[in-house]
Each structure stands twice: as C-alpha cells, then as structure tokens.
Amino acid sequence: MTIRNALRDHGQRYRPRMACLKKAEKVLLEMQDPCTGVKSQPQRLVITIIPHAITGEDIIAWLADRFQIDAQEARSFGSMLVALGYIYPLQDHKRLVIKPDASLYRFQTPYFWPTQQWPVEDTDYAIYLAKRNIRKKGILELHEQEQYNHLHKWMNHKWDFVVMQAKEQYRAAKERKKPDRVVFDCQERAYWVVHRPPPGTVSAMDYGLDRRTDPNTDEVTGESPHDLLVKYSATYSGHDPFLSKCLPSNPWLTDDTTYWALNIVEIPTKMRVERWTFSFKELLSDPRGRDDFRLFLKKEFSGENLAFWEGCEDLKWGTAVAMREKAEQIYKTFLARGAPRWINIDGKTMEITVKGLKHPHRYVLDAAQTHIYMLMKKDSYGRYLKSPVFKETLKKAICPEEHKFKNRRPSLSPIIIRQQEQEQRAKMAANAPVDITQVMSKLSKQGKEMGPRHSK
Amino acid sequence: MPLVNNKVGDDCTASGDKALADGKALVDSLIKVVACYRHLASCVGGCTDSLQLRDELRQTREKAQNLAGDICHHLTSHLRDKSLPDGQRKEMELLWVAFSSCLELLHVDMCKVLNISGIVSLADSASLVHTGLEGCSDVAARALSLPDLNQAQTDSLPSGLESQERSTMELEISQIDRMIDDMEMKVNVLRWMVEPHGPQYADPLSSTDSVSMAVQSIDEEQQAPTSQPLCQRSHIFVLLLL
C-alpha cells in the first residue's frame, strides 16, 4: 500500500535513495540497546537530571568494537552519524562532530530522524523560528533572521497560521514536565541545525539533484526502478541521436541539418514511425502520429473518442477565461443525450462528469478523459498498429541515407583562426605606406594605455 | 473573485459573522489539536513509547479528524455560496488557508508515526530509543480538553494490535489525503490574494516559567553562565555574560 505523497511533494521530485539512512538506523537501534549498546549516564543540569546522555569516547569505543575498526575510522563514522542527525551533541551544538573525550551526546528521537520520503518543510522551519522568538525575543541569529524574513515574504498567506501554530506548540510544550521540555527543545534545535545548517557549514544532507523517477518501487507494475530504467534504455537507445547513429547524421556533428528538416515534412522517417509502436503515449504526443491515428479512427467511424480527448486537453491547458465555454461546448458535442458525437462512457463516470459540469473547472473532465484514453489505448491502438493505414505509412516512411563524409577536413581551432587573422592584419599594416607621425602617435598612445605591459 | 450579490440584509451579515466566528473557533481548536499531536508524535519510537501513548495518539487523531470534517463542510459550503459579502469571503479564505496548512501538517505527522512504528516496534521494548524523555500524558489531555486522562495500564501487547493499528492508520491517512484533494477541487482559493492580519513575530507569552528558562539557557551556553532571568509582564530579559 502506498501513501500517496505526490500531491504534498510539489513538483513530483524524489530525493535520491540515501541507502545509508536505513543502515544508520539499524546501527543506531543497536547502539541504544540498554544491555549491549553504548553506556549512558545522566546529565546534570542546574536543578534537573536528564538521563541517557552518552560520551563521545564511549561512542567511538563502541563503534570500534562493534565493527572491528580502528579509532580513527570509528571517529569518522561517529561524526557521520552526528552529521546525519541521529545523535546530537549537548554542548557546542552547532558543530556536528564526535569529540573523542567526555563531551556529551544524546540519541535523537525517531520523529526527527532524516527520512527520504518527506521533504523538510519550510512551514515547519517558520513555525520553529517563530517558537524560538516567543521564548526569547531577538534570539534568532543573523542567518535565521534573514530566513525568517524571507519566509514571511513568500509564505505570507499562511503567516497567521504559522504564528498561531507556534503559540499552540509552545503552550502544548508547557504541559510537559520540565526536563522533557528541555530535551524536546534540544532535539528540535539539533534537527534544524542538521536540516537548515548555518551558512558556511557543510551539510550531510546535501545529496545533489532530485530525481524524476521514484527511487522506491513503481506503484503500478511493482517493478523496481532498475528494471524500468533498463527497459527504457533498451527501447530508446536506438533512437537517441547521441547514443547511437541517427540518420542521416547528427546535425551537431556534421553541420548537416537534414535530420531536422526531414521531420517537418509530410512523410515521416522510419525511426519516427517505429517510435509510435513503443506506447500509446508516444503515438499521441507526436503530432504526425496523432494525425495518422485520426485518419485510422475516421475510417473506423470512432473519431469522436480522439476528438473528445483533444477537447479535454484543450480545456486542461487552456486559458481560464474560456474554460466555461469550452466545457459547455464539449458537453453539447460529446456528452449530452443525442449529442452529434456522443462518446460511450459508463454510467457512473457520466454521472460524475455531468454533476461536475455544474461547477466546471479545469479538471472536471478528468475521469471521462482517462476512461476514453484507456479505451483507445486498449482497443483502438492495437487495431491501429495492425491496420492498413499504419502499414501504408510504414511502407511510405523513408529511411534516409547516411551522410557521406566526402570533403571532410577538420575545421581550424578558433585560436588558430584568430592568430591567422592577426597575422593577416599585421601584414596588411606592414605593406601599407607608412606615415611616421601616425605611427609615432599610435605608439605613444599604446604605451600610455598598456602601461607596464609589453605591446605585442 | 466571483461576483458578489450586494443585496445583503442585516440578518445576512449577522449570520455570516456568526458563521465566521464558528469557523474561527473550529480552526483554532484544530490548530491546538495538531500542535499537541506533533508533541505526542515526537515521542513515538522513543523510550516513552507505550500502548498508552499510542492510545493517546489515536484519540487525538480522531478528534482532529472530526474537527477537520466539520470545518471542511462548514468552509466549503460558505465559500461556494456566491452571495457571501467580500469582507467575509476574505476572512473565510484566511481560515481556509489555515485549515489546509493544518491538514498538511497532520498528514505528515500521521505518515511519520506510521513509518516509525514500522521501524521501531512496541513489542520489542529494548529497541525503543533512549532519548532522555520521561513521558507526556498531559499534552494529550490538553488536546482532548479533558482535565486528566484515564491512566489505564495494559501489561502485554495483544498480538494483532499493531497490524490492526497500522491498517487503521493507513485508512485514515488516505482519508485525509482525499479530503485535501476534494478541497482543492471544490473551492478555488487564490492563495496569493490572501492577506494575513497578524504580526510577523509571535509575541512572547507573558506567563513563562523562569526556572525552565534558566535550565534551557544554561544548556545552550555551557561556557557562559547566565544571570537571573527577570520575569516581567511580557518581556523576558536574559543577560549573557561572555
């Protein structure tokens, strides 16, 4: 079962798999085991005693023992755990390293562990900064202050909520016992030091770019991303002009733009037609393919499906002003009883759509569009690929000849070309009739401009 | 903004104001419950995790969901009402934005609790992380507006409870998901047009605990001892001797 985070995750980007997180969690659970883990001691503050503090040297010793590594490596490993946010220092909280002495650390609560699935929200950061400001006005550091102002500007519409939520969280915290309150504050502070590091520090959370595909399994087919990627690469590698030869030739390599010109004309190339067979989406997204498909559907007298689909796309991507009219037009043409191009969708979808059309918005026809899309994909697409229309197109498709590198000479590097030009100019100047006064004035000007530098 | 029918009589404004006040009260209580839920969720997987905590989480969650359902109906029906006067519509939209932000926070917290309960199981008490906490039952009491909770202790974990809890949580999370989706579909609130009323900074609250202040300040600045914090009406001064 997948919890659909896509909507909350704006832009559908996925943080790359940080496999180390899962492994670090396992190590941490071992470390905190009361019997076999790191020895804990109570931390003495002014009036309170808070349990479960561990010293840096104990952590390093335990890691060295557990993994049979030397102290230096254990220290780096420990620092990595701190940098990721699984352990936080109690003193000198901004430096996320393990010190091999009696400095105290504590385990971070699982709620604040770094995760791959959920991005660290700016709203939470704003609430945290507001809370700190409640506790002590003017405590925010410079970079935090700047961030706070920045968030106030772009998250302005939520600001009442942010302030209110900060107050409520603060009040809820008051309900807790004093030591717990201190611990929670330390935990939260440590969390934000990891995820919003002060400027000039290196963050362990820097993972590079976000990815477009989900590092976890594909929801629909249950295939792992590796299989999907391999399949995709195998299918498309022949069609990628940079990975394999493209016919007639890659314009970037040969300066011959026939490749681009060929795909504008009526008759498509064989490679392009082959692409239409990969998936229905490919067929529809290529205008030439869509035209072909439309022709086929016309022959089958089921052109209204494609027309309806195109109408829905138009509604989705069109201007807001024209939305209402378009929706009405589509209803009159395709959905109403006795409509001229009535489409065949099931009763439930029809009911939902008609109800939604009372208050039309961009996505009101989504259900019906999906239904028709699947209908075309499962039924018409298969028949299209076997149809005479497609076979005709395939036969007519041209296979351009490969570019013959006849007069191939390597072009000169721009540096050499520039040197050649300069030599040419110098020669011209040398051959021209010499005017002493001009030459002298030019030389003196050159001398003044260039200063200590030598003239060429 | 849709066209507004300005034939608004006195009773209309009065009932509109009441609707606004109701909505505001509901949203305020939801904000409170969500804040408490967050505090409770931060204890999951730690050494204070117990059946009681899970129970409190469940109760808080239920309350939050009930409130959310009420607010959803209330705000949706009012915002889709075309005859709502402009001023009230603006207020409603503010409440709407606050409500949707609340829902998003609740959604993330619920997902995190589900995730953590998968990593750290209650049944294996040795694996609960030693975080230094001692317990937070009063927070739940605050959330549920009860003077104190019935502190029923259960000794052993019934075998099917955890998986049952997981499936219930998954259902609830998908419910919240759908609610957020529905909201976006039904009412078109232009977020960039919404202007908040409140201040940029949350003012320090007057009744602060001076002792905890001292404890926290010392914990922060180990090298720099603090002097006595002065507790005035709404200002707290802590002088740092460096």
For residue B211, what is the DSSP state? H
| Residues A175-189: b if buried by 16+ CB within 10 A, e if exposed | bbbbbbbbbbbbbbb
Structure confidence at residue B240 (pLDDT): 53
- Is residue B95 a contact partner of residue B24, using CB atoms and an 8 Å limit? yes
- Mean pLDDT, rounded, for A141-153: 90
Q: Are residues A392 and A281 in the same domain?
A: yes
Structure confidence at residue A216 (pLDDT): 56
Percent over 70 (pLDDT), chain A = 86
Structure confidence at residue A15 (pLDDT): 59
Q: Are residues A272 and A378 in the same domain?
A: yes
- Interface residue A39 vs chain B (CB under 8 A): no
- B42 inside domain: yes
Structure confidence at residue A66 (pLDDT): 92
Structure confidence at residue A446 (pLDDT): 66
Range of the structural domain that residue A349 is part of: 262-396
- A453 inside domain: no
- Is residue A102 a contact partner of residue A39, using CB atoms and an 8 Å limit? no
ipTM attached to this prediction: 0.76
Q: Do A3 and B114 touch (CB under 8 A)?
A: yes
Q: Do B130 and A173 touch (CB under 8 A)?
A: no
Looking at per-residue pLDDT, the higher value among A118 and A372 belongs to: A372
Question: What residues 87-126 of chain A have any CB closer than 8 A to a CB of chain B?
Answer: 90-93, 106-112, 115, 117-118, 121, 123-124
Q: Are residues A164 and A288 in the same domain?
A: no
Give the domain CATH number at A127: 1.10.1240.60
Question: pLDDT for A304-351, tens place per residue?
Answer: 999 999 999 999 998 888 888 899 999 999 988 888 888 888 889 999
Structure confidence at residue A192 (pLDDT): 93
Q: Are residues A268 and A386 in the same domain?
A: yes
Give the domain CATH number at B19: 1.20.58.70
Structure confidence at residue A21 (pLDDT): 83
- CA angle at residue A200 from A195 to A204, to 5 degrees? 40
| Residues A218-237: b if buried by 16+ CB within 10 A, e if exposed | eeeeeeebeeeeeeeeeeee
Give the domain CATH number at A280: 1.10.167.10
Structure confidence at residue A11 (pLDDT): 36
- B239 inside domain: no
Best of A27, A39, A160 to mutate (most B CBs within 10 Å, chain B): A160
- B80 inside domain: yes
pTM of the model: 0.60
pLDDT band for position A10 (50/70/90)?
very low
- Which pLDDT tens digits describe chain B residue by residue (242 residues)? 444 444 444 555 677 788 888 888 999 999 999 999 999 898 888 887 788 888 888 888 889 999 899 888 888 888 877 777 888 888 888 888 899 899 989 988 988 888 888 888 777 766 777 777 776 667 777 777 754 444 444 444 555 677 788 888 888 888 888 888 888 887 777 777 777 777 777 666 544 444 444 444 444 443 333 333 334 344 445 555 55
Q: Do B111 and A92 touch (CB under 8 A)?
A: no
Structure confidence at residue A73 (pLDDT): 93
Q: Which residues of A touch B105 (CB under 8 A)?
A: 123-124, 165
- B48 inside domain: yes
- B170 inside domain: yes
pLDDT band for position A212 (50/70/90)?
low
Q: Do A176 and B136 touch (CB under 8 A)?
A: yes
Range of the structural domain that residue B175 is part of: 14-117+159-186
Structure confidence at residue B229 (pLDDT): 38
Domain end: A175, A190, A211, which one? A175
Best of B149, B215, B222 to mutate (most A CBs within 10 Å, chain A): B215
- A280 inside domain: yes
- A276 inside domain: yes
Q: Which residues of B touch A45 (CB under 8 A)?
A: 215, 218-219
Structure confidence at residue B151 (pLDDT): 46
Which residue in A107, A109, A165 is closest to B43 by CB distance? A109
- Mean pLDDT, rounded, for A363-378: 91
Q: Do A134 and B142 touch (CB under 8 A)?
A: no
Question: pLDDT for A12-47, tens place per residue?
Answer: 355 555 667 888 888 988 888 878 888 888 888 878
- B233 inside domain: no
Structure confidence at residue A305 (pLDDT): 92
Cα nearest neighbour of A50 on chain B? B132
Please report, for residues A327, A357, A370, the alpha-carbon distance to residue A332 in angstroms, rounded to integers and kept in the order given: 9, 11, 19
Structure confidence at residue B47 (pLDDT): 81
Q: Which residues of B touch A177 (CB under 8 A)?
A: 134-136
Structure confidence at residue A450 (pLDDT): 59
How close, in Å, is residue A137 to chain B by CA atoms? 7
Strand partners, B236: B231
Structure confidence at residue B230 (pLDDT): 39
Q: Do B115 and A43 touch (CB under 8 A)?
A: no
Domain end: A146, A175, A204, which one? A175
Q: What is chain A's mean pLDDT, rounded?
A: 83
How close, in Å, is residue A108 to chain B by CA atoms? 6
d(CA A86, CA A105): 10
Q: Are residues A267 and A373 in the same domain?
A: yes
Q: Are residues A266 and A383 in the same domain?
A: yes
- B141 inside domain: no
- A190 inside domain: no
A425 pLDDT above the threshold of 90: yes
Count: domains in chain A: 2
Residue A127 CB-half CA count within 13 A: 23
Best of B53, B131, B144, B195 to mutate (most A CBs within 10 Å, chain A): B131
- A84 inside domain: no
- B144 inside domain: no
Six-digit token pair at A342? Answer: 């009535």
Question: pLDDT for A67-79, tens place per residue?
Answer: 999 999 999 999 9
- A40 inside domain: no
Q: Are residues A171 and A279 in the same domain?
A: no
Q: Which residues of B touch A184 (CB under 8 A)?
A: 39, 42, 133
Q: Do A45 and B219 touch (CB under 8 A)?
A: yes
Count: domains in chain B: 1
- Interface residue A164 vs chain B (CB under 8 A): yes
